[in-house]
Amino acid sequence: MKLHAIDIAIIVVYFVAVITVGLWVSRRGAKNMGSYFLGGRALPWYLLGISNASGMFDVSGTMWLAYILFIYGVKGMWLPFVWPVFNQIFLMVFMSAWTRRSKVMTGAEWIQTRFGRDTGANLAHLSVVLFALVNVVGLLAYCFKGIGKFLVVILPWHFTGITTGFFSDENIYAVLIMAVTSLYAIKGGMVSVVITEVTQYTILVVSSVSLAAIAMWRVSPEMIRHSIPPGWMNPFFGWRLGLDWTGIMDSANGAIRHDGNEFFMIIFIFMTLKGVLASLAGPAPNYDMQRILATRSPREASLMSAMVNIVMWFPCYLMGTGIVVLALGFCMPELRSMATPDFEKILPMVLSKYVPEGLLGLMIAGFMAAFMSNFAATLNAAPAYLVNDVYKRFINPGVASRKAVNLSRLASFVILAMGIALGLMTTRITDVMMWLVGALYSGFVVANVLKWYWWRFNGYGYFWGMVSGIGSAMIVPVFARRMIGENVNMLYCFPAIFAVSALSSFIGTLCTKPEDDETLIRFYRNVRPWGAWGRIRDLVLKDDPGFQPNRDCARNWVNIVVGIVWQLSIFTTPIYIVTRNWPSFWLSLAVFAITMTILKFNWYDKLESEPVASVSDSEQPDLAS
């Protein structure tokens, strides 16, 4: 496509501005490890909430969201359960507060607060590092694939003219934009990332509202109805998905088969079961957990996670639906003419043809912001696991702050190179995403659920559960593809991966001694979890009869159920606004208001007020002890 001079000027100004701001604040963000990774725990919760939302609002995810809304219609609102998106509700209700009470810097460092510092704890610690690095490399490959597909359609310049392979224009674009974003993300750490993400989020919101307005202006409800199959506007489903694109867009049926979503009830059950377990496991060791640990108190951690649900999902679905409506109105003939249309490219197709000049430049800048936010947040979370959790913990406990920051920057470059290498070997955004959330996270859930809710679970059990889970996530999908076919949904691998990890966790735990009482008592008093902690609770009460155990389990579960319904109403409200389905819109709005009221009285009013805290290197736990 050919970009107007105005669009090019907007894109150039955006790049110069965001990199300048990121580098300008980098001095503050690189004083020591605490400021580099957590911003000194001085950033207010609402800025961290916007930053976290901006980091999740990535171009790959937006392209995938446009794809599932186009193919699956309103039923597509269930597919993000595969992440699972409702983990933000668990975080909001209680898990963020539990995590923040640890006062540590990374997920691996958290392990010593639960398992101590013996051999089992050290093995558990290293297994978290392994998972975090595999996860980050996978997420970087996911970012790589999305931004390359986006830019090769949007931007007019071509480097080699090659459409596939390592040296395709798509891959060259991805490498270049990753290199530019790395300048401020690696140099400045958390502060640079948060400040630039708040700036980028503003652009994203403007872009979302503008795109939705254009879709509502140019595409009538009649045009939408003419281009969709029966059931597209219905969020509910039966044993099968209940969508048939035959005669409208036959290739869309092929996309559903390729995703393995024909028997949607089975997929929904697996998504929900895995999602609940993953949410009970707490935040994965990535940028989401980093934002929680960067808040000033457990109360602010809960508020930050609550804010993410609103500031992330409403504009995201507003934008995604706007893209889909424009595609339904104008791109159907072009998509029908393709032998094998790439539905993941609906987003750049719409932008390149149906957005006016000037606004197009802002939109491209907005999606650049989406990519840069997610990429920078992911990259910033990675080096802490190598430097803080391996080098500082086991090799050089007395490392100077400046050297640690420099090593973190070097580690970022290494992780980035690995992510790019994996991205070069993949072809679809959906394939990378489904392996991450369908296979890898299936190996994460068992050990990480047991660590919170069962006092007897120990470091050896955690290590064997994690290592066997990660190994199964690498191996089981290979056998599944051989037995079922290349189009197998990764969620079908969940039972096998879960069983292997669970068996290893219980055998590893029951064949070794429990953690010492002192470590368990300290953890229980500090975090105050509910679950199978009876023995430890009795020991604490014997020493301190005035101690108040956590009796909020039932209330937490009520708030989780209400919160998930609340979150779903946030998904559907912008969909029905842009499609102008006003009866459904008013119903969604009513559900939102009712659930919001319940959460106000049963969650917000009962949040505990705890003192805020900042962090410096001297305040971190002594990792060498």
Q: What is the pLDDT of residue 610?
A: 58
454 exposure class (CB count in 10 Å sphere: 0-12, 13-18, 19+): middle
Q: What is the pLDDT of residue 621?
A: 39
- Name the token pair of 345: 């490219």
Fold of 5-26+35-427: Sodium/glucose cotransporter (1.20.1730)
Give which of 386, 196, 200 is closest to 285, Cα–Cα.
Answer: 386
The terminus-to-terminus CA distance of the chain in angstroms comes to: 60
User: CA 296, 297, 303 angle in degrees (round to 5)?
Assistant: 95
Q: What is the pLDDT of residue 411?
A: 83
Residues ≥6 apart with Cβ < 8 Å to 533: 453, 454, 455, 524
Each residue of 145-202: pLDDT tens digit? 888 888 887 777 777 766 666 678 888 888 888 877 676 555 544 445 566 667 778 8
Mean pLDDT of 117-122: 89
Q: What is the pLDDT of residue 536?
A: 96
Contact indicator for 185, 22 with CB cutoff of 8 Å: yes
Which residue would you say has higher pLDDT here, 426 or 326?
Answer: 326
Contact indicator for 506, 499 with CB cutoff of 8 Å: no
Residue 22: pLDDT band (50, 70, 90) is low
Each residue of 563-622: pLDDT tens digit? 999 999 999 999 999 999 999 999 999 999 999 999 999 999 999 765 555 444 434 433
Mean pLDDT of 234-241: 92
Q: CA–CA separation, 115 vs 119, rounded Å?
A: 10
Give which of 71, 52, 58, 488 is closest to 253, Cα–Cα.
Answer: 71
Mean pLDDT of 501-508: 97
- Name the token pair of 89: 């509700």
Q: What is the pLDDT of residue 41?
A: 55
Q: What is the pLDDT of residue 55?
A: 66
The whole-model pTM stands at 0.83
Q: CA–CA separation, 180 vs 168, rounded Å?
A: 19
Q: Is the pLDDT of residue 30 over 50?
A: no
Residue 438: pLDDT band (50, 70, 90) is confident
Q: What is the pLDDT of residue 135?
A: 83
Q: What is the pLDDT of residue 196?
A: 63
Percent of the residues in the chain that have a pLDDT greater than 70, as a whole number:
86
Q: Where is average pLDDT lowest: 55-59, 122-126, 200-204, 225-229?
A: 55-59
Q: Where is average pLDDT lowest: 31-40, 291-300, 560-569?
A: 31-40
Q: Is the pLDDT of residue 625 over 50?
A: no
Q: Is the pLDDT of residue 541 over 90?
A: yes
Long-range CB pairs of 75-80, under 8 A, 24+ apart, other chains included = 75/231, 75/232, 75/234, 75/235, 75/236, 75/237, 75/241, 75/242, 75/243, 75/264, 77/235, 77/568, 77/571, 77/572, 77/575, 78/235, 78/237, 78/268, 78/271, 79/261, 79/271, 80/571
Q: Is the pLDDT of residue 62 over 60?
A: yes
Residue 453: pLDDT band (50, 70, 90) is very high
Long-range CB pairs of 578-582, under 8 A, 24+ apart, other chains included = 578/212, 578/215, 578/216, 578/318, 578/321, 578/322, 578/325, 579/221, 579/224, 579/233, 579/321, 579/325, 580/216, 580/221, 581/221, 581/233
Percent of the residues in the chain that have a pLDDT greater than 90, as a whole number:
42
Q: What is the pLDDT of residue 385?
A: 74
Average pLDDT of the chain to the nearest whole number: 84
Q: Is the pLDDT of residue 129 over 60?
A: yes
Q: What is the pLDDT of residue 616?
A: 43
Q: Is the pLDDT of residue 240 over 80?
A: yes
